Amino acid sequence: MSTATIFEIIGYIGSALVLLSFMMVSVYKLRIVNTIGSLFCVIYGILINAYPTVIMNVALVAINVYYLGKMLNTEKNYDLVRVSGDDGLTRYTIDRNKDDIAKCFPGISMDFSKVNAGFVVCHEGKPVGIMLGNLKEHTLDIKLDYSVPQYRDFSIGEFLMANLVHEGIDKLIYKGSDENHKAYLAKTGFVEKGDHYERIL
């Protein structure tokens, strides 16, 4: 493979990542992927002596890093609303996000009317997360733990872990699929126990 071809591949990777970033719903992920793509474009520009491209992409990296820093250092103020399985707010949150819930939890039933405990997390009055399950002897068997795409930075999970103890819950159990959720479970302190995960609060 020639040097020119390698340079072109670096340029194509950078361009592809920058384009891919604009397809992401999460602004946080958009900025991370855009930063990586811009760094590839910086390298490409240096290699081919295209300094206007270098300057533009260095500026993009700086802008992304600045706003990522602000996002990481800005505390989100959430509210926890206790709900039931057939509560109006529960149905609204599920119905509004049912397609994404089905994508995150393949095969999940959308009928949560029989669960006896639920919590909707709101940010500035907007429902952005929901946890539903069956509560027995201070242990919550989770049937759904969902956050909308724009808030998948683990902050809702960390908020729940810090606040559910004030709702009379000492332990969480999750028996569902971990196909799309291993990073979240690990980040929020769940421990794998054979066929399920547990988190002591």
Alpha helices in the chain (DSSP H): 3-21, 27-47, 51-73, 88-104, 155-163, 182-187
Q: Is the model's pLDDT at 141 over the cut of 70? A: yes
- Chain-wide mean pLDDT for the chain? 90
CA 12 to CA 6: how far, in whole Å? 10
Structure tokens at 57: 């992409």
List the single range of 46-60, 117-131, 172-186 with lowest mean pLDDT.
172-186
Mean pLDDT in residue range 59-64:
93
Contact 133, 141 (CB under 8 A): yes
Cβ neighbours for 107, distance < 8 A, ≥ 6 positions apart:
177
Residue 86 has what pLDDT?
A: 87
Give every strand in the sheet of 171-174, ordered side by side: 78-83, 117-123, 126-136, 139-147, 171-174, 196-200, 191-193
Residue 28 has what pLDDT?
A: 79
CA 103 to CA 92: how far, in whole Å? 18
Residue with the larger pLDDT of the pair 4 and 197 = 197
Q: Among 118, 127, 123, which Cα is nearest to 96's?
A: 127
Q: Among 178, 180, 164, which Cα is nearest to 191's?
A: 178
Residue 127 has what pLDDT?
A: 95
Q: What is the pLDDT of residues 161-199, one digit of tens each?
A: 999 999 999 999 999 887 888 888 888 899 999 889 999
pTM to 2 decimal places: 0.67
Residue 47 has what pLDDT?
A: 92
Residue 3 has what pLDDT?
A: 86
